[in-house]
Chains A and B, each alone.
Chain A
Amino acid sequence: MLLREAAATNYFNLVPWVVFFPVLGILINLLVGGRLREKMIGVIASLAVAASFAVAVLLALSLNDQHAGTIIAFMNLEWISIGDLHIDWAFRVDTLSVTMMLAVSGVGTLIHIYAIAYMHADVRHHQDPTRYRRFFVFFNLFIVMMMILVSADNYLMLFVGWEGVGLCSYLLIGFWYDKGKGGANHLDGISNALAGKKAFITNRIGDFGFLIATFLMFGAFGSLQFDTVFTKAPFASQGTILAITLFMLLGVAGKSAQLPLYVWLPDAMAGPTPVSALIHAATMVTAGVYLVARSHELYALSSQAQNIVALVGGLTALFAATIAVGQFDIKKLLAYSTISQLGFMVAAVGMGAIVAGIFHLVTHAFFKALLFLSAGSVIQGVEAGHHAMEHGSIKESKHKRGEHLNEGGEFDAQDMRNMGGLSRRMPVTFVVYLVGALALAGIFPLAGFWSKDEILAEALHLHPAVFVLLIIAAFFTAFYMTRQIWMIFFSKPRSRPAEYARENSLLLTLPLILLAVLSVFGGALNLPFWHTLTHWLDYTLAEGAKVGSFNYLVAGLSTVLALAAIALGIFLYGKRYQAQAKLPAAQRPVDPVQPYLRGAFTGIQHKWWIDEFYDWLILRRYVALSRFLSYRFEERFWHDWLHDNAIAGSFRQTAHFLAQPVDLGIIDGIANGLGTISQRFASWIRRAQNGFVRSYATWVLAGMVIILGYLILR
């Protein structure tokens, strides 16, 4: 027992290693990665994250042994000390941060392993294998930053991680920065880079909010350390708390893709699929949820702020769920689904149901990572089929095959209309995808059922309006997932590449299987009546965590709705789709739901024109302002008038004045005059030098006579 205690206390000292291990991975890959084989690079990166996960597990065990589960901060390095501002670089180990560490590094490890196989094919598909190492360096860097974010002990350190993950997100969205599918603006080939830029700038708006909240916090409490802030918060005015929490919400909306800043996340799907899974589904986008959970003591002080956060989450959940129904891109659909699920989490933490939110965060990390990785598997399967066809014996014209091409006019391996019937070609992927979809739809007894129902049950008694929004969103969730499953895996293949699709290697499918297992059993974390996670988080959250009672009514209602949505989906996409496929192309609706929704479907398909609206409202105005400033102000006024006319002109005139009359006239006149005078004097005086000895002697005599005369006569 003594040994165990000694060991347990020692484990906490390991906490910096959750950050150092991935840093080590980066360093190894940066320094010697060029000489290693591709597999080795991936293995090193994966091992680094796995080591980080192991440390997180040790920390969890130590916390469990300590029972108190209290907040323990390590490595108190003085970081910034200016006047009243004292910020330490300290790692915070409590049940909340360790939960996040486990989720990030656990899911991260699996996705790293998956990426070894996926990126192997991806770099060849895009014809640039040299980027393989760069991918893993970025990926490890992301883990580093995420770990700093979740282990931070103050808001500024959290902000370092917050910005760091944003940077990694940007780098990885634009991983194929010189490629891209054309896009609406006909900016051929750089749409990926533009997507990265969009994500970065949108996040910057959110970060602005976060920073303002940080400044307000320092102004009001004189500290950014979590505990200090929370102790002093109850004595601050309502207005201050409301301002801090709402500015923080802006940051949350940016990072966790909530209304109105969600627009970057669907575009972020331009990155490689492991990136979408790790950063844009499982971990980074949940940072906002973590931030609200971490700051729950602030939110608890302002019911208005809680209301607004919950409403933003609820509206986002419903809004994004409707858009997901009209998507044909396999990853875009999942992106909107992610936004919707993040809405669930934000609504939950906003209402004060922190545990429910974190629980959903963890289970969502399992099944959404699973779905994205499976989608990647599907894409590579179809691409493999496409490749086999292009370079194989089968040759047909692209249009004859009736494929849906992307804007670049190439076969689009991500378009679900090009798929169908893949369940026979890719059985493993099919099964895991089905598990993920059912978990997302909230079918008993998979992980999503427990976490989503906990949110719904809490919403029913904390915030009925949000409950309504969420339960409708849950209906849509089940519907669009059924639609996706059916379009990808069932009926007949709708394109030739789909017919030749291939199942992927074990290295790629093994993480899928593990994640599927987690998606099935993830609910065990916080089953009703046991509430493991609630008790675990209770150490950190104190009064924030309430043991909610299991609501049979809510569970039953959501299950019924989900089943109804699945039935509707099967009817529409199983039967109607088959029937409509036989119609001639002109009469065939874009999607089986189109005849029922009519105008609404056009809206859904165009994502409710939000991008266009932002384009009109912000981008056009901004560009017009920039143009005004650059042309009218900068070019005309500043450059042409002020610089060229006023400054340069007057300078030129002054210079001209100084050059012509002053320099040429006076200065040169003096110099030339002196020259002329001395020349004339010299030509006059040279006459004395006549070369006759006698005349020189006369001068000597004269001089002597003068000197002697002076001496004698004075």
Chain B
Amino acid sequence: MVAIEYYVILSAILFTLGIVGVLIRRNAIVIFMSIELMLNSANLAFIAFARQYNELNGQVFVFFVMTVAAAEVAVGLALMVTIFRTKHSIDVDQLSSLKG
């Protein structure tokens, strides 16, 4: 049985990768994927702790997260299609018309 620390560290590494991806990449699809990475790192942490404490709550929560992620994909991809149609690009730095 693998110790819980390894799961948590892996989860943290994956979350940090997700954050860095969101912050430094300009391609909307990559940002999107980074967000998925963060969600899944959270899922990993949930599963790990659920198993550690023999609780079903964490596993149930993972299903919710996956559902939300699926819904998010649906909305997010739709947005991206629309953005591409108007801007002919999916570079998020092009979407700065709301700046003060």
Contacts and interface: CB of A to CB of B under 8 A. Distances in A.
B99 A694 contact: no
Nearest to A682: B100
Contacts of B23: 694, 697-698, 701
Contacts of A693: 31, 92-93, 95
B52 interface: no
A237 interface: no
B19 A691 contact: no
Contacts of B92: 692-694
A397 interface: no
Contacts of A689: 99-100
B22 A691 contact: no
Contacts of A399: none
Contacts of A686: 100
Interface in A192-227: none
B19 A694 contact: no
B19 A701 contact: yes
A505 interface: no
A268 B19 CA distance: 116
Interface string B60-100: 00000000000000000000000000000000110111111
B1 interface: no
A158 to B, nearest CB: 93
Point out which of A686, A688, A691, A701 has the most chain B C-beta atoms below 10 A from its C-beta.
Answer: A691
Contacts of A701: 19, 23
Interface residues of A, number: 11
A694 B21 CA distance: 10
A451 to B, nearest CB: 114
A693 B93 CA distance: 7
A690 interface: yes
B2 interface: no
Contacts, number: 32
A697 B22 contact: yes
B72 to A, nearest CB: 15
B99 to A, nearest CB: 3
A691 B26 contact: no
A692 B100 CA distance: 11
Contacts of A691: 95-100
Secondary structure of the A contact surface, majority rule: helix
Interface string A682-714: 000010111111100110010000000000000
A444 B93 CA distance: 138
Interface string B14-55: 000001001110100001000000000000000000000000
A132 B24 CA distance: 110
Nearest to B97: A691
Nearest to B35: A697
Most buried by A among B19, B24, B97, B99: B99
Nearest to A693: B92
A697 B98 CA distance: 15
Contacts of A698: 23
Contacts of B31: 693
A688 B26 CA distance: 19
Contacts of A697: 22-23
Nearest to B24: A694
B50 to A, nearest CB: 22
B8 to A, nearest CB: 14
B96 A692 contact: yes
A684 to B, nearest CB: 12
A694 B100 contact: no
A107 B24 CA distance: 125
Nearest to B25: A694
A694 B23 CA distance: 5
Interface string A244-277: 0000000000000000000000000000000000
Contacts of A694: 22-24, 26, 92-93
A691 B98 CA distance: 6
B1 to A, nearest CB: 28
A690 B99 contact: yes
Contacts of A690: 96, 99-100
B82 to A, nearest CB: 15
A697 B32 CA distance: 13
A693 B100 CA distance: 13
Nearest to A685: B100
A698 B21 CA distance: 11
A706 to B, nearest CB: 15
Interface string A479-514: 000000000000000000000000000000000000
Interface in A651-695: 686, 688-694
Contacts of B26: 694
Contacts of B22: 694, 697
Interface of A: 686, 688-694, 697-698, 701
Given A691-B100, A692-B96, 11 more contacts: A688-B100, A689-B99, A690-B96, A690-B100, A691-B96, A691-B99, A693-B92, A694-B24, A694-B26, A697-B22, A698-B23
Q: List the 10 closest A-B pairs by CB distance, nearest first.
A: A691-B99, A691-B96, A689-B100, A686-B100, A693-B92, A690-B99, A697-B22, A689-B99, A694-B23, A691-B98
12 contacts: A688-B100, A689-B100, A690-B100, A691-B100, A692-B92, A692-B99, A693-B92, A693-B93, A694-B26, A694-B93, A697-B22, A698-B23
